[in-house]
Amino acid sequence: MDTAGADETGEDAVTGRDAEAFDAFYTGSSRRVLHQMYAMTGNLADAQELVQEAYARAWQRWSSVSTYDDPEAWVRTVAWRLAASRWRKARNGVAAILRHGPPENTPEPSIDNVALVAALRQIPEAQRRAIVLHHLSGLSVAEVAHETGAPEGTVKARLSRGRAALAELLADTSLAEVS
């Protein structure tokens, strides 16, 4: 094993070129991943923290992550796994929100975004993740299957059921506003 670029912890030293590549990757993908995680979690503050931690982990492993076919998918997967872990520890998340309140200087979401996120919260997690990755992230069914570890047929079923559930939930919302 070549350790010429490794520091005393055994991790590769980051070069200036690596830092520039990571900066370009972060600049090009962070807003998109943030929006995707917001859609998946339904909470902007949580999404910001998850994405920040996922990018911090990507930076720590950038010499490996940068060689992946889709580093953004790696970041999104790490953020999703962090979210799943956070949901298992929901009491701590609620306590933090009560302690710190909502983030300051956050623009108000549009009524459509609020309705969509509220509807997404009401469908099963697997359907929500498939919908967000396919429709909001623009991934193909095959890419969603690869990222989630589910067969393509399962992803198609989740998308179909999720769309049907969202259509019903969003139709109820629009009818309630009209009447």
Q: Report the CATH number at residue 112.
A: 1.10.10.10
Same domain, 71 and 91: yes
Same domain, 81 and 32: yes
Condensed to tens digits (0 to 9), the pLDDT of residues 116-146 reads 999 999 999 999 999 999 998 999 999 999 9
Angle (CA) 88-94-96 rounded to 5° is 110
Structural domain harbouring 116: 108-179
Least confident interval from 74-78, 88-92, 122-126: 88-92
Same domain, 67 and 135: no
Question: Which residue, of 64, 91, 107, is where some domain finishes?
Answer: 107
Condensed to tens digits (0 to 9), the pLDDT of residues 14-73 reads 577 888 999 999 999 999 999 999 999 889 999 999 999 999 999 999 999 999 999 999
Structural domains counted in the chain:
2
Q: Is residue 3 part of a domain?
A: no
Residue 79 neighbours by CB under 8 Å, 6+ apart: 33, 37, 50, 51, 53, 54
Same domain, 103 and 113: no
